[in-house]
Amino acid sequence: MKATAVSGRGVSVLYPLLLGAVEGGIAGLVEAAVMIRRGSNLVSPGDLFPVAFFHVVLWGVVGLALGLVVKVLVLVRRRRPRPEDEKAFHIASVSFLVVLVTVGAHMNVFVLPEMLSRISILFDGVLLLACLALGFALFRVARRRIAGRGLRPGSPLVVAGIVLTVALVVAAAARPGGGRGEEAQGVPKVGGLNVVLIVPDALRPDHLGCYGYERRTSPTVDRLAEEGQLFLEAYAHAPLTKQSTATMVTSLYPSTHNVLYLEDALPERATLLMEEASKGNLRTAIFSANPLISPFFGFGRGVDFFYFERIPVMRRTVLGQASMALGFRVPRLLCVRRFLEAVEILVPRAGARPAYEGTDCASLNSAFLEWIDEAPDASFFAYLHYMETHAPFVPPPPFDTRFDPDYDGRRLTEFPASVRDMLPFFEGPPLSERELTNLVAQYDGSIAYFDEELGRLLRELESRGLAANTLVAITSDHGEEFYDHRGWEHGHSLYEELIRVPLVLWCPRHLEGGKRIRAAVRHVDLAPTLMGAAGLGDAIGTAGFVGRNLWPALAASEEPPSGAPIYAECFSGEAHARAIRLGRNKLVHTTSRGRESVQMFDLSNDPGETEDLSTEMPELRNALMSELVSINVDALAGRMETRRTEMDEGTKEALRTLGYLD
């Protein structure tokens, strides 16, 4: 087929459309290959086809639009250009746009400082001039070489199109199907229990009825505590989600697994809880409403099915990243993002029913039950991470007014001004007593909503006959502060309201009900204990865990061994804190920008940590500090190498909504 119009008006719009599709597809394949080569977590080998096809559609549309514009100009001017000039113009203009946008977007997103910075604008200006020179040179060369040749079977454009088509077919055949991964369907039950680890984010134990709270926030959790085992002194090792959950799944202290900041991913050397469960022939799954708990940060190893917010194809491309970053800074340019989102609809399977349909606990529970029903006779190990109890606290009706029905003032759905520092070196923004009362009421309403959905989930497990052989473990990654020590939110101290967490184990046929465990337990003990319950105790010794397997003692209705030190640490910008608790005594060591604070508390007489005893009892302070240093040295001795991941702009925006980013 020739690229000239039947009417003889010159080159058909098919020519720039096909030219844009071919050049875009090649650019997409190169971009995806470069991203994979540099270890980007945004693009994997299975993404070659959708990323390349997205570029095919995008630049095909751009080429078509360019061709139509040229036709309109020809009609307006009533002057027909020579076919070779028109073709040469399309080659030069499409190539100019593809190179300018692709290279510019990549440099602005991954290499240069923040978009619209002085150096970025300077680079973009130089790139524009270079691309204009390239386009002019291409125009002159093309005009000389393609005069009268048309679109013959042996032309470079057709050959490039054939090569691109073959490459896309190969990439499509290589991509994984379905998005669920390879699942162990119908695996017979092993000797241990099914395990469901439930983690409501930022849940304080002292806001649950089973821990003595006066409000009726948690009837379901209270029932599980009454029928199971309640741990009165359970501790996280960090007051931030990424640092804490990494410890839960590796049984390593934060200084060892080294996942300290938002961009960090779990180290390859660490043995993950789900990996061990998968090796034991259990189906494994994670259902996460928190963007930090996703395969992009390494949590997918050993996981058969991961329910998380998958990044759309548009957001996997550098152009998509650039459009989102620019749109956040210049709202008028959000039209570019909307255009790219519209283009994605044309990508095959882009408009299919998503595997991720909601972040609320009801959606997570539904996805979990559907996953169970796919292989009802198989053993499973599942981790569900909910966000209802994480700020901003916006429980649905009637939970939003349940604990403060008369409030008509401002509701705090935003976060306080972010301070990358540690208490006691700053003070949170002031709140009126009435605002603080309602803030706590919204938090309690969020707990009540989560608790009601938890009750529905348990009823579904019971109706399927699974409750008898399933261990349900409920804990949290950290707590939340409501001006207990002059701050709000979490991640800024190691006081009790942030590192003390709930822990309930429920399995009526295998655990004695109504027990109250007084021995202090830690999150590093969680992975080996859950493995013990799942019948995987033999693998614990080779997993490199630092925690203890408490399951044998718990199953025998015995009190777990006590005496293990509680060690916690937190890293935030240039500030960091470490704490240790031995028995009733606790020491907190904090440093920030050359400042240092050492505080010591007697938790038996001062559970609120209001009276610093560090100067009154120097010998005890020195002994605790010595133990703290010893544990930290051991943790640092095994420090693992982690990797920094690339977060797309959509993930960054989700983290801003949750207060993780400014």
Per-residue pLDDT for 536 more than 60? yes
Residue 48, token pair as written in the block: 């070659």
Q: Which of 340, 341, 323 is nearest to 332 (CA)?
A: 323
**Percentage of the chain lying above the pLDDT 90 cut:** 49
pLDDT digits (tens, 9 = 90+) for 349-378: 554 444 556 788 999 999 999 999 999 999
Question: Residue 66 and residue 23: Cα distance in Å, rounded?
Answer: 14
pLDDT at position 157, please? Answer: 57
Strand 264-265 vs strand 521-522: parallel, antiparallel, or unpaired?
unpaired
Cβ(575)–Cβ(425) below 8 Å: yes
pLDDT tens track for 286-326: 999 998 898 888 899 999 999 887 667 777 788 877 777 77
List pLDDT tens digits, range 561-575: 888 899 999 988 788
Query: What pLDDT band is residue 176 in, cutting at 50, 70 and 90?
Result: very low
Give yes or no for a cis peptide into 113 (omega within 30° of 0). no
Note the pLDDT tens digit of each residue in 94-104. Answer: 888 988 888 88
Q: Does pLDDT of 183 surpass 70?
A: no
What's the whole-number mean pLDDT along residues 195-212?
A: 98
Instruction: Return the pLDDT at 190.
Output: 47
Q: Which amino acid is at 176?
A: P
Q: What is the pLDDT of residues 18-35, one digit of tens each?
A: 888 888 888 888 888 887
Structure tokens at 270: 């660490």
Quickly state the pLDDT bin for 106 (edges 50, 70, 90).
confident
In the predicted model, what is the mean pLDDT of the chain?
85
pLDDT at 417: 60
b/e map 438-455, b = 16+ CB within 10 Å: bbbbbbbbbbbbbbebbe
- In this structure, the chain runs to a length of 662
Instruction: Provide φ and ψ at 198, rounded to 5°.
Output: -110, 120
pLDDT value, residue 4:
39
Residue 6 has pLDDT above 50, yes or no: no
Instruction: Give residue 167's pLDDT.
Output: 58
What residue has token string 């946008």?
101
Return all residues near 27 (Cβ < 8 A) that are at least 6 apart: 55, 59, 98, 102
- What angle (nearest 5°) sits at the alpha carbon of residue 640, between those of residues 180 and 316? 40
pLDDT value at residue 356: 58
Question: Taking every pair of C-alpha atoms in the chain, what is the biggest distance, in angstroms?
Answer: 98
- 456: pLDDT strictly greater than 80: yes
How far, in whole angstroms, is CA 72 from its chain's centroid? 48
Question: Per mean pLDDT, which range of 4-18, 51-65, 131-145, 181-195 is the poorest?
Answer: 181-195
Domain boundaries, the chain: 14-174, 194-310+359-562
Judge whether 11 and 4 are in contact, CB under 8 Å. Answer: yes
pLDDT of residue 539 exceeding 50, the answer is: yes
User: Measured between alpha carbons, how far is 336 from 230 in angstroms, rounded to an integer?
Assistant: 53
Going by the DSSP 8-state scheme, the letter that residue 244 receives in this structure is H
Region of poorest pLDDT, from 245-254, 330-339, 541-550: 330-339
The fourth-level CATH superfamily of domain 194-310+359-562 is Alkaline Phosphatase, subunit A (3.40.720.10)
pLDDT class of 116 with cuts at 50, 70, 90: confident
The predicted model gives 72-83 an average pLDDT of 77
0.85 exceeded by pTM: no
Q: What is the pLDDT of residue 416?
A: 65
* Secondary structure string (H, E, C) spanning 356-403: CCCCCHHHHHHHHHHHHHHCCCCCEEEEEEECCCCCCCCCCCCCCCCC
The residue-averaged pLDDT of 233-259 equals: 96
